[in-house]
Amino acid sequence: MTFFTKTTSSEYRLPIPDPRSPTTDPRPPTKQMTSLIVLGTANRKKSREMADLLAPVGIELKTLADFPNAISVVENGETFAANATLKAVKQAEHLGRWVLAEDSGLMVDALAGAPGVYSARYSGEDADDASNNRRLLDELGDTPLEKRTARYVCHMVLSDPSGTVRVESEASCRGRILTEPRGTGGFGYDPLFELVEYRRTFGESDPLVKAVLSHRARAARLLIPQLIGLVIDA
């Protein structure tokens, strides 16, 4: 018999043996998931957002900043899924840890899906949020508002220490790109990305709104049941 420790309504830990059970477990050994996951990103704002989204799982989370020997993974995939997998698998194999990585970006319909996987470096190798936003506005030029439709996409991948992908999810959030930034919240293209139904950009929205409606929040909601399943069934 096995008991599970549960410290909150949604927090599970590794199974612990029932002292009344026989010492010999007839079940074959399984690879257990640890109660620690490393978030495979060096982006502090992204790490903080992911940690908040995954808090209901009750698993301890660390970031690459906690591991001085973490490697820099080349993101040369052609899709968000490919890049997220590269970051999760390579880092997990190197650190010998469970690693959760994500790749996300903005896809603008009028630009044939650009900047896409190049969202973070859209304006060059030394890109920052401001320069990326400027280039996006330049590329769209005088494109009318009704044709500035876009979507944020996020793909998440969890790899075990052997480099095997165990769970993954993908989600998106649709909106449109304004002609000038509004709001100072969030990061990336958030000040330009307007949620049409709310008439507000992510940059001027309450963080709680983003925590419900964003591409990353939606991908996390799809991932969480799988994470809990791994902890319970490990």
Task: Show which residues are catalytic.
Answer: 103
Beta strand spans in the chain (E)? 2-8, 11-17, 36-39, 60-63, 99-108, 149-159, 165-177, 193-195, 200-201
- The Cα–Cα gap between 84 and 73 comes to 10
CB 234 within 8 A of CB 30: yes
Encoded tokens for 164? 């095997």
Rounded alpha-carbon distances, angstroms, from residue 67 to 40, 62, 150, 158, 215: 10, 9, 36, 18, 27
Q: Which residue bears the tokens 């959760």?
A: 100
Q: Which residue bears the tokens 């190197």?
A: 94
b/e sequence 124-155, b meaning 16+ C-beta within 10 Å? eeebebeebbebbbeebeebeeeebebbbbbb
Which residue type is seen at 174? Answer: R
Which ranges constitute the DSSP H helices of the chain? 44-54, 80-95, 129-140, 207-213, 215-233
CB 77 within 8 A of CB 117: yes
What is the β-pairing status of strands 165-177 and 99-108? unpaired
